[in-house]
Amino acid sequence: MSISIHPESTVASVLDAHPIAARVFARHRIDFCCRGQRPIAEAAAQVGVPLDHLLGEIVGAAAQPPAVPVGISTADLIAHIVARHHRPLDEELPRLGALAAKVARVHGGRTNLAIQEHFEALRDDLVPHMDKEERVLFPMLIANDRRAVMPIRVMHEEHDLVGEILRSLRALSDDFTPPPEACGSWRALWGGLEALEADLHQHIHLENNVLFPRATRLP
C-alpha cells in the first residue's frame, strides 16, 4: 500500500489521513493528542525510532479499516466520543481511584502516594471537563454555533493539563512496570493506568485534531 507522508507532516495530519496509525504511535509512546502538531520526523527522533521504520509500521497499520469512518458527521462523531470514551470513564475512574487509594494505603511509599495524588488530579480535571463538553460545547458544535471557538480554547488547555499528568504518571511508575513485590491490586492499578493513558490519547486526538477543527471551518 502506498501512502504519502513527509518528514514535515505533523503527527495529527498523519492520524487524520490514517486514524489506525494511533496504534503505532501508542506503541512507541508518541504523544499524538496534546502534541499532535509536531512534525513526524521530530516525534520519531524524540523517542529514538528511525523515521523509515515508523513509516513502515504506519503503512502496515493503514491497510486496516479506520476506527472512525472517514466523513462521519459532527453529530455522529460526538456520539462516538461520548459512547466510546466518556461513558466508560464513568466506571473506570472510580475503579482506578479505589485501587490507587488501596495500594497507597496498604503498601505506602512515596511513589504510590504520588501516583494516587496525580491520579486524583487527573480524575478531578476529567469529570467536570467532560460535563462541560456534553452540556455546553458539544451541543454548540452540533448546532454549528461559531461561539464554540472560545470554549474550545479552554478545552485545549485542559487537554494539555491531562497530557502533563499522564506523562507524570508514566514517569513515576517506570513506564507502568510494577516491581517484583507488587501484589495483584498494584499490578491491576498500573495496568489500568496504562490502558487509561492509551484511551485518553485516542480520546483527546479525536477532539483536538478531528472534532474541534470543524468549528474553525464554520461559514
Look up the pTM and report it: 0.74
The Cα 70–Cα 17 span in angstroms is 9
Contact assessment for residue 125 and residue 162, using Cβ atoms and an 8 Å cutoff:
yes
Residue-level pLDDT, tens digit, the chain, 219 residues = 446 788 888 888 887 777 667 778 878 888 877 788 899 999 999 999 999 999 888 887 666 555 666 678 999 999 999 999 999 999 899 989 998 999 999 898 899 999 999 999 999 999 999 999 999 999 999 999 989 999 999 999 999 999 999 999 999 999 999 888 888 888 888 988 988 998 999 899 999 988 999 877 755
Placement of cell 479525536 in the chain: 206
